[in-house]
């Protein structure tokens, strides 16, 4: 379509009409120009198309659709291709329902484990989050359906999310909170980006030109349109000027009229309106062209995929004495209401109406060749101990050879709209674990939760499986994992702290009234725990298997390089156990010395590989300049400093098995601004001013100076005092021995 020609034929009112929705889920049509309406609907782990009157809170029923694991669960797979397959399946279901754009994925960073919506986000690490979001986007859009990457930006809590002002320094934004979006935008090329509700450093995201235009479009090259989160528009006219193209849902024509009036009064340039209309129409006609008129899929096949995916995402966190997989013929006490009434997804706008839901007890009974019994153990609707149910469960556990407790967080504990207050399981779940382990040492706990929990009972259980919120086929997937039909290969995409107080955001979450300050800076998740030497319950990237692996023979294609070059890293991984399985090989980069405080190491590569027993495969990583860079606020750019970098490869952030070193040479030198309050030490630390200081000090200690005969060679106190002295103080003591005019000229420059 000749979009520019269409725009030229439109009245101002028609243009403005395209910049807001007709109702909750569709855009407006202009019949006389052949412009149809376009439907969007909620995701991201399945299609949530409402069948009744529209609402955004999930109150009305939605059509049945496949409910895949939520993002927190999908991230446990560390598998780009697997997440791409999920995206493709969702895309096909969208085509069947005439949905042009599905809202998701969410690439927000898990700043705090208390965030009520963490189940909808991938990771605490921006590299991992960006890679997985890209895979999801590519999968959906490969099937001709658009995505909406959300929520841009710094939307890391639910408390006062509509009004909160997130105060984040630029380096922290660039390295952590924007980096996941940047990677997803550049690699995934989503049709749309959804702006968040909150303010970022004082300005609402919906009217923030720095975010929506300078960074998103000019720097990252985003070519789609920006849509508001539903109800996120604060002031529509500044929003258009800032780069917010589409307001959702409908404003009933109110903001359309505001746009028209602003243009006619000269307060808004009509070219900004035209640009927004053009971006929207480009996507609309793209999705018209990719519309599949006869999409075909089997609900049963998609359920099978959901089961495979949920099993791949399961994370084996503990397996003492090789209790799992279940031994043949063993009697098993299945305990916990989650086993029969599972929590498969989070609450809020992403809530899917599943086509069916597996019963874990039934699935396990069908697969396991021993005897399985069931006890409820607790009530899901109450945060208290039910003595009668507890007694039945303990008796069943005592009579069996193995007890499997299905525990976790009920819907009331975490959801969109509010944040958690603690990291505890419900009291009934805790009491159940304590009581069962007192009579049955062979106890397995299977967790269903959207975010980390505290585990004071961990030392009492033999095995622990983290399944997160595993979607509609979770029950069958857990049966596959527990019986060994599937060897778990998942890894944690976030750190599990021993207690809430250890989290870096603890003192600054969720903020005070309408402001939250990100005081921890770039030290989010494992970056904080490693820098502060704080033990975690389970570290970032951690996960066990029914087999064992060895990572070694690390090789770099060069030991020295310029920062404009790329580094090729190869490493071998071998299955040293008796089962076929998958390992996630993780590569971290560590800067040995820097002018700014950097994390101990940062994830810069990962690959998941399948290996038969005894098999070895070689993994190759390519590291570009960005893998070694940090954001310089003085230059407003990514920079690499000359120096030695460690290349660390292992199976988690704490389990490093191979180390290499590379020396990187860069032309970058941190700028220094000279004033009379610049210290001598700062000048000595800078290569361009060090010679000046040395010459100056030589004259100051010469025969004609008041400081004649002074030496610092063996006087640490004198060295420290002079290093901390500002130039104005040195000028006072040095007298006429030094000609200061040259330094004054440098300051002026």
Rounded distance, CA 735 to CA 747, Å? 19
CB atoms within 10 A of CB 695: 12
Provide the CATH number for the domain around residue 575. 2.60.40.10
- Report how many domains make up the chain: 4
Q: With 60 as the cut, is the pLDDT of residue 296 above it?
A: yes
Instruction: Examine the domain organization and report whether 219 and 90 are in the same domain.
Output: yes
Instruction: Examine the domain organization and report whether 377 and 492 are in the same domain.
Output: yes
647 belongs to a structural domain:
yes
Please report, in angstroms and rounded to a whole number, the separation of the first and last CA atoms in the chain.
Answer: 54
Instruction: Examine the domain organization and report whether 243 and 313 are in the same domain.
Output: no
512, 538, 564 — which closes off a domain?
538
Among the listed residues 108, 119, 134, the one whose alpha carbon sits nearest the alpha carbon of residue 71: 119
519: containing domain: 304-538
CB neighbour list of residue 168: distance below 8 Å, 6 or more residues apart: 154, 177, 200, 201, 518
The pLDDT score that the predictor gives to residue 60 is 59
Q: Check: CB of residue 229 under 8 Å from CB of residue 207.
A: no
The model's pTM:
0.95
pLDDT band (50, 70, 90) for residue 560: very high
Q: Is 377 helix (H, G, I), strand (E, B) or coil?
A: coil
Rounded distance, CA 573 to CA 489, Å? 14
144-157 residue pLDDT tens: 999 999 999 999 99
Which phi-psi region, left, alpha or beta, contains residue 501 (left: φ > 0; alpha: ψ -120 to 50)? alpha
74 belongs to a structural domain:
yes
389-420 residue pLDDT tens: 999 999 999 999 999 999 999 999 999 999 99
Q: Check: CB of residue 393 under 8 Å from CB of residue 435.
A: yes
Instruction: Examine the domain organization and report whether 252 and 378 are in the same domain.
Output: no
Instruction: Examine the domain organization and report whether 36 and 130 are in the same domain.
Output: yes
Q: What's 27-82 look like in SS3? A: ECCEHHHCECCCEEEECCCCCECECCCCCCCCCCCECEECCCCCHHHHHCCCCHHH
List 571's β-bridge partners, or say none.
Answer: 619
Count of residues making up the chain: 749
457-506 residue pLDDT tens: 999 999 999 999 999 999 999 999 999 999 999 999 999 999 999 999 99
Instruction: Examine the domain organization and report whether 249 and 330 are in the same domain.
Output: no
Provide the CATH number for the domain around residue 43. 3.20.20.300
296 belongs to a structural domain:
no
Look over the chain and give the mean of its residue pLDDT values, rounded to a whole number: 94
30 belongs to a structural domain:
yes
Cα 171 from chain centroid?
Answer: 17
665, 690, 723 — which closes off a domain?
665
The pLDDT score that the predictor gives to residue 546 is 98
| Catalytic residue of the set 229, 256, 591, 682 | 229
106 belongs to a structural domain:
yes
At 323, list the tokens.
């209790």
158-197 residue pLDDT tens: 999 999 999 999 999 999 999 999 999 999 999 999 999 9
pLDDT band (50, 70, 90) for residue 722: confident
Residue percentage of the chain with pLDDT more than 90: 85
Instruction: Examine the domain organization and report whether 517 and 643 are in the same domain.
Output: no
289, 316, 342 — which closes off a domain?
289
How crowded is the C-beta side of 277, counted as CA atoms within 13 Å? 28
558 belongs to a structural domain:
yes
Instruction: Examine the domain organization and report whether 285 and 337 are in the same domain.
Output: no
195-247 residue pLDDT tens: 999 999 999 999 999 999 999 999 999 999 999 999 999 999 999 999 999 99
Provide the CATH number for the domain around residue 446. 3.40.50.1700
pLDDT band (50, 70, 90) for residue 707: low
Instruction: Examine the domain organization and report whether 272 and 316 are in the same domain.
Output: no
28 belongs to a structural domain:
yes
Instruction: Examine the domain organization and report whether 58 and 136 are in the same domain.
Output: yes
636-673 residue pLDDT tens: 999 999 999 999 999 999 999 999 999 999 998 878 88
674 belongs to a structural domain:
no
Q: State yes or no: is 229 an active-site residue.
A: yes
68-99 residue pLDDT tens: 999 999 999 999 999 999 999 999 999 999 99
Q: Check: CB of residue 80 under 8 Å from CB of residue 125.
A: no
Q: With 90 as the cut, is the pLDDT of residue 438 above it?
A: yes
Rounded distance, CA 726 to CA 495, Å? 43
Instruction: Examine the domain organization and report whether 575 and 532 are in the same domain.
Output: no
Instruction: Examine the domain organization and report whether 691 and 644 are in the same domain.
Output: no
Q: With 70 as the cut, is the pLDDT of residue 353 above it?
A: yes
Higher pLDDT among residues 694 and 528, named by residue: 528
Rounded to an integer, the average pLDDT of 688-701 is 80
């Amino acid at each position: 379509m000749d979009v520019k020609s269409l725009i030229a034929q439109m009245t101002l009112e028609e243009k403005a009409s395209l910049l807001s929705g007709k109702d909750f889920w569709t855009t407006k049509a202009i019949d006389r120009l052949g412009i149809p309406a376009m439907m969007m609907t909620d995701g991201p782990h399945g299609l949530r198309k409402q069948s009744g009157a529209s609402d955004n809170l999930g109150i009305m029923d939605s059509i049945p659709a496949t409910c895949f694991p939520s993002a927190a669960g999908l991230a446990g797979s560390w598998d780009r291709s697997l997440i791409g397959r999920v995206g493709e399946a969702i895309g096909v279901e969208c085509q069947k329902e005439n949905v042009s754009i599905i809202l998701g994925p969410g690439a927000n960073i898990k700043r705090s484990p208390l965030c009520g919506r963490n189940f909808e986000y991938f990771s605490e690490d921006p590299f991992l989050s960006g890679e997985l979001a890209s895979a999801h986007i590519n999968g959906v859009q490969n099937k001709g359906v658009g995505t909406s990457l959300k929520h841009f930006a710094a939307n890391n809590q639910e408390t006062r999310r509509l009004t909160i002002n997130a105060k984040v320094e630029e380096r922290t934004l660039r390295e952590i909170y924007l980096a996941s979006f940047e990677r997803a935008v550049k690699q995934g090329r989503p049709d749309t980006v959804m702006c968040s509700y909150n303010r970022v450093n004082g300005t609402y995201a919906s009217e923030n030109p720095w975010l929506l235009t300078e960074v998103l479009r000019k720097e990252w090259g985003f070519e789609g349109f920006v849509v508001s989160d539903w109800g996120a528009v604060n002031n529509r006219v500044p929003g258009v000027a800032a780069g917010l193209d589409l307001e959702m849902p409908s404003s009933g024509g109110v903001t359309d009229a505001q746009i028209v009036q602003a243009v006619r009064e000269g307060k808004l340039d009509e070219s900004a309106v035209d640009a927004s209309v053009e971006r929207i129409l480009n996507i609309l006609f793209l999705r018209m062209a990719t519309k599949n008129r006869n999409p075909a899929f089997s609900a049963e096949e998609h359920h099978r995929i959901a089961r495979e995916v949920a099993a791949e995402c399961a994370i084996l966190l503990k397996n003492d004495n090789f209790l799992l997989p279940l031994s043949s013929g063993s009697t098993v006490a299945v305990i916990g209401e989650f086993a029969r009434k599972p929590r498969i997804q989070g609450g809020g706008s992403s809530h899917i109406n599943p086509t069916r839901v597996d019963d874990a007890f039934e699935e396990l009974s069908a697969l396991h060749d021993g005897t399985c019994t069931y006890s409820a153990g607790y009530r899901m609707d109450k945060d208290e101990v039910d003595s009668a149910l507890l007694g039945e469960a303990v008796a069943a556990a005592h009579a069996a050879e193995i007890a499997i407790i299905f525990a976790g967080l009920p819907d009331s504990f975490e959801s969109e709209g509010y944040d958690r207050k603690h990291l505890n399981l419900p009291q009934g779940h805790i009491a159940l674990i304590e009581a069962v382990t007192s009579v049955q040492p062979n106890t397995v706990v299977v967790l269903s939760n959207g975010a980390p929990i505290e585990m004071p009972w961990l030392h009492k259980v033999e095995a622990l499986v983290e399944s997160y919120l595993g979607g509609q086929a979770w029950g069958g997937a857990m049966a596959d994992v527990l019986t060994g039909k599937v060897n778990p290969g998942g890894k944690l995409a976030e750190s599990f702290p021993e207690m809430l107080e250890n989290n870096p955001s603890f003192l600054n979450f969720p903020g005070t009234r309408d402001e939250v300050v990100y005081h921890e800076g770039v030290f989010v998740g494992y970056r904080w725990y490693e820098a502060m030497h704080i033990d975690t319950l389970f570290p970032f990237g951690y996960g066990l298997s029914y087999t064992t692996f060895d990572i070694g023979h690390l090789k770099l294609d060069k030991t020295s390089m310029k920062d404009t070059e790329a580094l090729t890293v190869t490493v071998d991984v071998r299955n040293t156990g008796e089962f076929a399985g998958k390992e996630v090989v993780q590569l971290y980069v560590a800067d040995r010395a820097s002018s700014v405080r950097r994390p101990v190491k940062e994830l810069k590569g990962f690959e998941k590989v399948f290996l038969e027993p005894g098999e070895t495969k070689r993994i190759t990583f390519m590291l570009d300049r960005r893998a070694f860079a940090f954001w310089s606020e003085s230059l407003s750019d990514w920079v690499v400093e000359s120096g030695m970098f460690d290349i660390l490869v292992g199976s988690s952030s704490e389990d490093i098995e191979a180390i290499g070193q590379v020396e990187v040479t860069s032309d970058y030198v941190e700028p220094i601004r000279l004033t009379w309050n610049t210290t001598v030490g700062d000048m000595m630390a800078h290569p361009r001013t060090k010679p000046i200081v040395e010459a100056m000090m030589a004259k100051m200690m010469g025969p004609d100076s008041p400081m004649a005969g002074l030496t610092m060679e063996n006087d640490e106190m004198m060295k420290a005092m002079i290093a901390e002295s500002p130039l104005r103080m040195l000028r006072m003591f040095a007298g006429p021995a030094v000609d200061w005019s040259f330094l004054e000229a440098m300051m002026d420059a």
